[in-house]
Amino acid sequence: MLAQIQSPAPSHSDPVDALLGCHVRIRHFTALAVSLSRPDAPVDQIAAAAQAVHRYYTLALPLHEADENESVYPRLRSLLPAGALADANQAMLDQHREIDVLVAQLIPLWHTIQTRPGLAPASAALAARLLAAWTTHLQLEENIIFPAVRRLLSPAEQSAIREEMSLRRQMSRSPVPAG
């Protein structure tokens, strides 16, 4: 049986808690992507799982990545002298690009699998690479970046990040793009 399709409830507290909530969902949908690609995955569940994974990776993940790239990264960059923490902050951005390449290859596969579940095993190698990339990336953020956000950014800066995150989600639900 494939993992549950529903994602965990989002967090509405501070920005780090909200970002950690996103990480829970990333792990959930990545595990689902790996599960649906297994040769023994129940065929009757593959299409729904592929649809859920496709939806998450095309709608929600870009918002999370924007949260980190546009709200967290520049604030930390402006505070950090050269060194390990500045390198980790840059690595976060670079890893996003690497993950985006994998996701761009998987999105059309997940779309196709929704109507042709028999093709699910074709996504196995890429899904495994995605899982490995996420494992490294999430560790970096959870062990280095997020503690730095809490330690180095003022409450006002953290609040601004959370407001930006909320605004991104409100704008993504708008039926007519702004501007």
Q: Quote the number of domains for the chain.
A: 1
Residue at 7 is within a domain: no
Percent of the chain residues topping a pLDDT of 70? 89
Residue at 59 is within a domain: yes
CA distances from residue 68 to 20, 33, 49, 92, 178 in whole angstroms, order as listed: 11, 23, 27, 8, 22
Give the domain CATH number at 22: 1.20.120.520
CA-closest candidate to residue 110, choices 33, 24, 7, 12: 33
CB-based burial label for 120 (10 Å; 0-12, 13-18, 19+)? buried
Residue at 138 is within a domain: yes
Residue at 4 is within a domain: no
pLDDT digits (tens, 9 = 90+) for 9-31: 444 568 999 999 999 999 999 99
Residue at 104 is within a domain: yes
Residue at 68 is within a domain: yes
Residue at 144 is within a domain: yes
Global pTM reads 0.88
Residues 6+ positions from 162 with CB-CB distance below 8 Å:
14, 15, 18
CB-based burial label for 108 (10 Å; 0-12, 13-18, 19+)? exposed
What is the reported pLDDT for 12?
A: 53
Residue at 176 is within a domain: no
Helices (H), the chain: 15-36, 43-55, 61-66, 73-79, 84-115, 124-140, 146-152, 155-173
* Domain that includes residue 155, residue range: 15-170
Instruction: List phi, psi (to 5°) of 167.
Output: -60, -40
pLDDT digits (tens, 9 = 90+) for 91-147: 999 999 999 999 999 999 999 999 999 999 999 999 999 999 999 999 999 999 999
What is the reported pLDDT for 8?
A: 41
